[in-house]
Structure 1
C-alpha cells in the first residue's frame, strides 16, 4: 500500500506536491483559489497488475486537468467520482477512460476511486475497451461496479498482497462485463478459445524473446497451429510481429521499472531480443512516449516516493 497526504506540506506548496504526485498520468492545471492550500489524501493498492487508488479532498478548490500526451502509462481506468451538490446531496459518476487518448475534465470532487487496468494483458481487449473511451457506465451496471470498488477500498487495507493479487482476473472480468456494450461483449464471448490461444502465445513469446530471430513462423510451430490461423488470430490487433514486438517492449518496460533490476539498459534490450540499441530506443519511445532512460528514471522516482511517502524532488 502507498499513502500520501498534502497535510505534511505548507499550504502554499500543497498543490505543487499534489501535481507532482500525478505528473506521469495527468496534467493538473492551476486555479486561482490555491492560496488557502490544497488538502488531499491519496492511497493505492495493487491487485496483481491492476492498481486501485483512493483520493479524498477536504475543501479543496475546483480542479482542471487533462491526460498527459503520450504518457508511458497508457492504461485504461474506471473512475468513480463523488461530489456534494449545491443542495447538499451527494452525487456520483462512474466513467471509463483510456490514458492513451485525449481527455480533459473539470471537477470539485470530494472523493475519487480509480481502478487502473494495464494494456499488456489481452490484445483482444484493446479495441473493445478503446471503443468505450469516455463512456459513462450504464445505470444497469454502475451500482454493481460502484459497490465492488467501494468494497475494495474498505477491505484492501486488511488483505495480504498475495490475496489481493488473486482478485486481478475476477476484477477484470467484472469491469469488462459492466462497461463493454452488450453486442460487443457477446461477440467476444463467442471465441473463448481464441483468448486461450493468445494467452498461450504470450507465454511462448516470453520464454523465447531473448532470441532476436524468434518470429511468427517459430511461434506457429511452438503453438502447433498453422500460420494462417495464427495470422487470423492477430489480424485485428496489428499482426503477429506487432504482438511479439509489444511483448518484448513491455517486458523491457517492466524490468526498467523494477528497482531490483541491476542490468544496464543495453543489456535489458539484448535480453528481450533487440541487438541494436538505437532500434530498441526508437521502438520503446514509439510504444511508451519516452526513452528507456526516462522510463528507468521514472521507476526510480516512484520507488523513492513509495519508500519515503512523498513525491520525489524536482
Structure 2
C-alpha cells in the first residue's frame, strides 16, 4: 500500500505498533510510530488498487501532505481526509494516530462530501466534533456486542456527513451521538480541572468549545452543572479512599477537591454513597470490598454510545451549537 521509511537520516528500520478492527464497510486503525515519510505512488496504486477514503487523527504531530495537485499542513488534534486512489506523500514526526478507512462501496452515499474534503482543512467546529467521535468510537468499540457493532457503519456514515457539512437535517439524524460526543468533551474538561477552584461553566464552555446554553441543556438531567462537578469530585474522592497505601488525609482530600471544609465534604460524601469517608478508608485498609459503588456518571439524559446506536431518541431539550 505504501512505501514507508524513517524520516531522519541515519535511521535503519523502525519499530511501530498498529491495531485494527475490521467492521462492515470500514476499518478502525490505531498506530504508534516514530517520525516517518510515507509515499503512495501510481505504481503502488496499480499494484494495490484500493481507493478507500482515509480519515486520520494525529495526537501529537502535524502532518505535511502533498498529492501533486494540492498540499496540506494538518495540525494535531484535527482530522484530515485523503483518498488512497490518489498518489500522495506525507511526513510527520513521532505520533499516535487513529485512522478510519472507509470503503467506497459502503460510503458512496457521502462520497461527494468525502471527495470534496480530501486534502483540504476541515471546518474547525465540525473537525473537532469528528475528532471527539473518533476517540469515543475507539474507546467504546471493544465493549460493543456484535449486534451493536453492525450498526456502526450507518451511524458513522451519518456522523461524518454531519461533521463535514453540518445542516439541520443531518444533525437531527445523529443528535443522540452528537450529545454523547459532546458529553465526553465536557467530561474530559471537568476531569482535567477537578482540583481547580475555578472549575465552573465558563471554564468548561471554553475548554469543551460549547455554549453555556448547550452545557446547561446537556447537564440538565444530571441536576445541573454544579451537581455534576460535585459528583465527579466525590467519585474521585471515593477512588482515593479505596487505595489502601494512600496516606493523604480525608481533610486533605476535601481541600484538594475544592470542598469548603472536611465537614461539608463528609456530608456530601454520605449523601452520595450512604457511608462516611472514614468507613470507606477503613474497609479498604482492612482488605474488604468497597462499601458502596463509585458514584460514576449517570448520563441517561444523553444516552450511552451503544444505546444511541440502537436509535434511542434524543432528549426533548437537545440542541447543537457548533462554535466556529
TM-score, normalised by the number of residues in structure 2: 0.42
TM-score, normalised by the number of residues in structure 1: 0.43
- Larger Cα Rg: Structure 1 or Structure 2? 2
